[in-house]
Chain A
Amino acid sequence: MAITGVSQFGKDYCTRNATPGKKYYDERIIRKGKDEFRVWDPTKSKLGAAIYKGLRNVPIFKGMKILYLGISTGTTSSHISDLIGNEGVIYGVEFSPRSVRDLVPMTKKRKNIVPILGDARTPEDWANRIEKVDMIYEDVAQPDQTDILIRNAKIFLKKGGSIMIAVKARSINVAVNPNEIFAAERKKIEKYFTITDAINLNPLEKDHIFFVGKLR
């Protein structure tokens, strides 16, 4: 089963570059005829890692609106931006000014990424700047990251919307076995969402699990 918009060349998963001739991180570029493809680096992107580890049900389609919590410098979002096209939009929330400094130049070239310097914990600060979305992607590595996702989903997620979350066990509790943390977080998420995929990102990302779900 292929993922819409993601092409596979040999072992590499790629997305068609929406801005040909421009690179955003140190990704490799593959040219096929007139088309230019950017190789999705699984060591730099958790969604990329999940796809390499066998995630096939990726709820990203053309024209989709996405809320991305913890967009950082925009490595993963540059590929999502390729997938959703010009009709879609990514609202990228990032707390660290240093990361946003690297993000803003990219958003000037990719108009479907909207940079927001704000805290994912306090959506009231930036809620009046965005629309409701079809999908929430969260990668924040905070102890209360699941609660942050649920709170944002209640405010911004449309009916039938989906979620993707990269849970980092080490930022929740270093002393507990990661599998126990994954089970506990899964329970919390399942109160509101149906989990369709759970992919352990080992060894690409240590002690990470990637959940894909749908709003109940």
Chain B
Amino acid sequence: MTIYIAASPIGIIAVNEQRNPISFISFKNDAKKRADELESCGKKAISDSEKKLLSQIKAKDKIIFETKKEGYEHEFPNHAGDYIRLNMLDLARKNSILKEKSELLSIIHETNTELTVRKMRNSVGEDKLLLQAINTTDELAKQVNTMSMRLREWYGYYFPELVELTGSNENLAKYVSETLFRTDVKGIIVDESMGVNLKNEDLEEIKKYAKKIIILIDEKKELEKYIERKATQVAPNMTGIVGGLLVSRLIAHAGTLEKLAGFPSSTIQILGAEKALFRYLKGAGTSPKHGLIFQSSFIQRAPNQSRGKIARTLASKLSLAAKMDFYKHKGDLGKKYKNDIEEILKKEMAKKGKGKPFAQNKKQFNKNKKFGKKRFSQKRR
């Protein structure tokens, strides 16, 4: 005889081939315990309640579970599952689990809420933290830029020469928040300034604003340090090749480290250049050589004609490293890969000037020109 076994929020049931219940083990009347029981029923090992149920069944019978169990067959959905999902209310009444009909709903509701909440607690991986952090740095950078532009305009009324001279936003904000009043610096003579004379009260407001910019800049720097640390923990091999910031950007673009590890290296190569890729696929323009990985110093140092090659090498090493990082491969290969790419880069740099300057496939280029819009086909990156 074949016996089918399935679990439910109220308990575990065994039915025979004719779909008649043989035995039933009810769970303890508590949402957390029910959730525990259901969780252990979902695992491969036999749970205590299942042992109890099995002891009530003759040893000769063939047993089929609804979920995968070690040493037993499984079938989904099986007769037991069908039976209990259809007759849960009757079964609960017979085994005096309920006093009222409406209690069944609250049992199911509470058990499921508990299981869902438990799963939610494990739903955010460390890679998601990296994603939020890197997006925050981008937003901070944007914020600092807009605020600095305002500062330049505002402080420019008072000391235009200095604003003109100072290139970096950070330095200007530092000067305003620390020194504030006009002083002689590098070739500027205060007495010759064409700035308006502002009252102290007016200048104080500008100073407060500059201090806020400094705070944001510091915050961004700290966040970047945090990202470097965190990326080394989350993706040590990838970080060994290109550094934490770019790794975080790649993870953020893919969504999770799991997705990034699933990408082939060609996808990683052009991650972030989707617009150019689809434009190329439509028949206009040329295919992009690199997306986000352009930010890596390998590609920026490479001579023009071998950037595609370096991009391919870098992407392939990154995709290997991503897989290692996601599947927690032991051993540190990031550094080795970095050296490998460094060597290839050296060879390419030595070739500089000797090879063909820029192998442009004229036929392809003309074809693209014919089909595509003009503005797409003219520039080649």
**A contact set with B: CB distance below 8 Å:** 86-87, 89, 91, 97, 100-101, 104, 107-108, 111-112, 114-117, 124-125, 127-132, 155-156, 158
Q: Are A104 and B6 in contact (CB under 8 A)?
A: no
Taking Cβ atoms with an 8 Å cutoff, the residues of B that contact A are 6-9, 38, 41-42, 66-67, 76-77, 81-82, 85-86, 88, 102, 105-106, 108-109, 111-113, 115-117, 119-120, 123-124
21 contacting pairs across A/B (C-beta < 8 A): A87-B102, A89-B105, A100-B116, A104-B117, A107-B109, A112-B105, A114-B112, A115-B112, A117-B116, A124-B67, A124-B76, A127-B76, A128-B38, A128-B42, A128-B66, A129-B38, A129-B111, A131-B85, A131-B108, A155-B77, A156-B85
Q: State the CA gap A3–B112 with chains docked (Å).
A: 31
Instruction: Looking at the assembled complex, report how far the CB atom of A77 sits from the nearest CB atom of chain B, in whole angstroms.
Output: 14
Q: Which residue in B66, B86, B123 is a CB contact (below 8 Å) of A127?
A: B66
Q: Which residue of B lies closest to A98 (CB)?
A: B123
- The answer to whether A111 touches B105 (Cβ under 8 A) is yes
Give CA–CA (A124, B75) in the complex, Å: 10
Contact partners of B108 in chain A: CB under 8 A: 89, 114, 129-131
Contact partners of A158 in chain B: CB under 8 A? 86
> Is B120 a contact partner of A104 (Cβ separation < 8 A)?
yes
Chain A residues whose CB sits within 8 angstroms of the CB of B109 once the complex forms:
89, 107, 111, 114
The smallest C-beta distance from A170 to any residue of chain B, in angstroms, reads: 15
Chain B minimum-CB-distance residue to A101: B120
Chain B facing A: main interface SS: helix
Q: Which B residue's beta carbon lies closest to that of A159?
A: B86
- Select from chain B the residue with minimum beta-carbon distance to A114: B112
Q: Decide: B116 and A104 in contact? CB cutoff 8 A.
A: yes
Q: How many A-B residue pairs have CB under 8 A?
A: 78
Q: A116-B112, A129-B8 are in contact. List 19 more A-B contacts (CB 8 A).
A: A87-B102, A97-B120, A97-B123, A97-B124, A100-B120, A112-B105, A115-B112, A115-B113, A125-B42, A127-B66, A127-B81, A128-B8, A128-B81, A129-B9, A129-B108, A129-B115, A130-B85, A131-B108, A155-B77
Residues of A close to B66: CB separation below 8 A: 124, 127-128
A147 to B124, CA, bound (A): 29
B116 engages A115 (CB within 8 Å):
yes
Chain B residues in 8 Å Cβ range of A116? 112, 115-116
CB distance from A215 to the nearest CB of B (A): 15
Q: Say whether A128 contacts B6, CB under 8 Å.
A: yes
Contact A86 B102 (CB under 8 A): yes
For B120, what are the chain A residues with a Cβ–Cβ distance below 8 Å? 97, 100-101, 104, 117
Q: How far is the CB of A68 from chain B (nearest CB, A)?
A: 13
A129 and B86 CA atoms in complex are apart in Å by: 12
CB-contact partner of B113 in A87, A97, A107, A125, under 8 A:
A107
Closest to A133 in B: B85
Collect the chain B residues with CB atoms within 8 Å of residue A91's CB.
Answer: 112
A111 touches B76 (CB 8 A): no
